[in-house]
Amino acid sequence: MRLLVVEDETQLADALTEILKRNKYFVDTAYDGIDGLDCALSDVYDCILLDIMLPGMNGMEILKRLRSAKISTPVLLLTARSEIDDKINGLDCGADDYLTKPFITGELLARIRALTRRKGELIDDNRITFNDLDLNKNSCSVSRNSNDVKLSLKEFQIMELLMTNPHQILPKERIIEK
Ligand code: CA
């Protein structure tokens, strides 16, 4: 799965990106609002983590523009504790969830899983099955008839994309974008 992190505090943005990559997500990072909107409009992401106070264009404006462009990518707002009104506004503007900074990694990952959960038959958060295939995120492997095959990260990401979009033909371009 491919995620976009839009956050101008570079330390936080880089830490988030690192954590997400370690959890087998493919991650792009934008450090200002203009770049964030540009990336988000490409519509290739499974979820967007969006800060509100950003240079260039604030998160709320990005959200409005995304939704008016009919892009329905799930958006998780990252808000400071003092921005209560922003949370309400954000949900009204089409955000799917929000997380108050500072947050713990476990909660962040759980919320991303909830927002990206769909289609493929998910046994639990770390396994996806389709027919006799069983994809395991923890061990980064796929098994069939008790034959385990260890996957590289890229192989795992491709399998995950295919297995969460069963019975569909995925054009090469979409796979490359993802
Ligand atoms: Ca900020």
Tell how far the Cα of 9 is from the centroid of ligand 1, in angstroms.
6
Tell how far the Cα of 52 is from the centroid of ligand 1, in angstroms.
6
pLDDT of residue 127: 83
| Cα angle value 149/24/107 (rounded, 5°) | 130
Tell me: the pLDDT tens digits for 127-140? 888 888 899 888 88
CA atoms within 13 A on the CB side of 14: 3
Mean pLDDT of the chain: 89
Tell how far the Cα of 25 is from the centroid of ligand 1, in angstroms.
23
Tell how far the Cα of 7 is from the centroid of ligand 1, in angstroms.
6
DSSP 34-94: HHHHHHHHT---SEEEEESS-SSS-HHHHHHHHHHTT----EEEEE-TT-HHHHHHHHHTT
Residues with CB under 5 A from ligand 1 (ion): 8, 51, 53
The C-alpha atoms of residue 92 and residue 56 are separated, in whole angstroms, by: 22
Tell how far the Cα of 53 is from the centroid of ligand 1, in angstroms.
4
Confidence of residue 58 (pLDDT cuts 50, 70, 90): very high
Tell how far the Cα of 1 is from the centroid of ligand 1, in angstroms.
25
pLDDT of residue 126: 79
